[in-house]
Amino acid sequence: MPELSEEDLTAVSSLRAAVMRLSRRLRHQRVDESLSPTEMAVLGTLCRCGSSTPGELARKEHVQPPSMTRIVAMLEAKGLVRREPHPQDRRQIVVTQTEQAEAILEESRRRRNAWLAELAGNLTEDEWRTLRDAAPVLEKLAEL
């Protein structure tokens, strides 16, 4: 890790705390209370990245493969994913989200976007500009 100035360390600490508080508040805007945040994250990954094997999902979600196997089984029992044979490797399966999952994700995004837009309505034009400029940087951090 590079040597950070005191000012940079303060900024990192402030960013961490703000992102955590905002994330916690966004989680409260859930559409389906029966889905855990982890289950929603897996559905979101399937939406963003397309069908995946449980191993690929485990890597993307930073969980152990046995945990992902349990998550996929729960999502399948709820009718939110389908497990299909892998097209090249019959020893594996591919997990695909269902239309029901897509509808839940869309409504969740709509609700969370509306909530966040309402909050952001309190920002000044300069703050909005800063937020628009920061969004790609925050996205990059989230993907690293």
pLDDT tens readout for residues 100-137 = 999 999 999 999 999 999 999 999 999 999 999 999 99
pLDDT of residue 90: 81
pLDDT tens readout for residues 2-29 = 788 999 999 999 999 999 999 889 888 8
pLDDT of residue 34: 83
pTM: 0.76
In sequence order, what E strands does the chain have? Answer: 81-85, 93-97
Question: pLDDT confidence of 1, banded at 50, 70, 90?
Answer: low
For the chain, domains (ranges, CATH) are 31-143 (1.10.10.10)
pLDDT tens readout for residues 72-86 = 999 999 999 999 998
DSSP summary character for residue 53:
-
CA distance 139 to 133: 11
pLDDT of residue 59: 94
pLDDT tens readout for residues 42-101 = 999 999 999 999 999 999 999 999 999 999 999 999 999 999 998 888 888 999 999 999
CA distance 92 to 54: 9
